[in-house]
Structure 1
Amino acid sequence: MSAPAGPGFALQLRDVWLRLGREVILRGVTLDVTAGEGLTLLGENGAGKTTLLRLLGSGLKPTRGEGRVLGFDLRDGRAVRDAVHLMPVDGGLYPDLTCEENLNFALTMHGQSGDVGAALRRVDLHGAATRRTRFLSAGMRKRLALARAHLLARPVTLVDEPFANLDDAGRQLVLTLLGELRAGGRTLVVAAHEPALARQVAPRTLRLHAGQLTESA
């Protein structure tokens, strides 16, 4: 087990570079996020936001530099994955499983228990509980992914474009559930193209441009 990070830090990166093939995606990224903090990550398409989230979730390893999540080295994949939930832009759901099965499987994989029925009711999917995920609309899949993130409630939650494919009511539901995660002490990183919405639950704002991370007003 790696030595802990600085006191109170959930996420730390030091001069992290990431190369995928011949392309350099992240260039000397340094970051400190305190436990329980909400961070909005802005940037144009292709800026590297999704890549940075995947790296923080231990889905990718730094080419150079160091990083820690709740004190665990990013290269300690199992420990990091036990502490982090990544909600990708496509939801990361299993298309041949029903809504109920997707949530039950997520709980089993993390060794947790929870009220799946209540989670589905919370996102207004109780009527689709036995429907295969492949037959859901994009907005319904987004709500199912959000229900899973809320049900798992990992100490660090990384969310990629949570407001996409949702109507106004769906976006308000995102704000409510992500706000509850933060109120429960979870660290939240939201990559979004809607800064005004994202800042309501993740007020600190950083911008990723050309692989470099800077504070944004």
Structure 2
Amino acid sequence: MAEGLAGPAALPALQLRDLWLRLGREVILRGVNLDVMAGEGLTLLGENGAGKTTLLRLLASGLRPTRGEGRVMGYDLRDSRAVREHIHLMPVDAGLYPDLSCTENLEFALKMHGQTGAVQTGAVAAALRRVTLEAAASRRVRFLSAGMRKRLALARAHLLARPLTLIDEPFANLDTAGRALVLELLGELRAGGVTLIVAAHEPELARQVAPRALRLAAGVLHEA
């Protein structure tokens, strides 16, 4: 692994160097080093409580590292505004607005990212059809099942298609058909050049779209 961060001529999607994170008295991440190249797919494994979700939140600039260096698409990890323009996090709880409908959630996400043209071209309706939620387009999210919320969150990730997409437990609360749809949608993102980091408890599934695997244990990343 190279010392220091690469310059613009050889720009990975993600670079971490000796990254530490302490929350209160607890050390969550310990000297994490990681390179993820643009377009790569990485599966993040680990037991419950290992810190996978916390690492994803840090990469999405929701948390600030205690010490160390990090870059997302060449931007300093601490520059949260720049990082958020290039990254999308789909949390395990889907991160949707419960009092908005399916359509309103997707339209709001597009407007927040300055993609108002996509709202006008029918992209939202097409995205709902893609995840078989067209019949629930006007239903408030609070009345959706866990599996339906998961599919709506995947539709949002597909619509936004940020260069680096972080997915936390994409296969949870889904039946066999739902899991197959997840694989198809994530595969399409990768085919379009999106870099994927998938935290999952189903390595045999996740590695179909994110073949490289690392395991987080005791705050340290290891080859799986």
- TM-score, normalised with respect to structure 2: 0.94
Aligned to 2:3: none
How far has the Cα of 1:6 moved from its partner?
Answer: 6.5
Q: How does 1:1-217 map to 2 (within 5 A)?
A: 4=7, 7-112=10-115, 113-114=117-118, 115-216=123-224
Distance across 2 between alignment mates of 1:183 and 1:21: 40
- 1:42/1:192 contact within 8 Å kept: yes
Tell me the percent identity.
79
Q: Return the letter of the residue paired with 1:183.
A: A
Aligned residue type for 2:50: A
8 Å Cα contact 1:11-1:33 kept in structure 2: yes
CA contact (8 A) 2:11 2:74 kept: no
**Aligned-pair RMSD on alpha carbons?**
1.1
**C-alpha distance in structure 2 between counterparts of 1:211 and 1:4, whole Å:** 28
Could you list the runs of 5+ residues in structure 1 that have no partner in the other structure? none
Whole-angstrom CA distance in 2 between matches of 1:205 and 1:47: 15
Q: Helix, strand or coil for the counterpart of 2:85?
A: helix
1:4 is displaced (CA, Å) by 4.9
In structure 2, the gaps of 5 or more residues are 1-5
For 1:207, give the aligned amino acid: R
In structure 1, distance between residues paired with 2:7 and 2:39: 17
Shift of 1:215: 1.1
Aligned length: 214
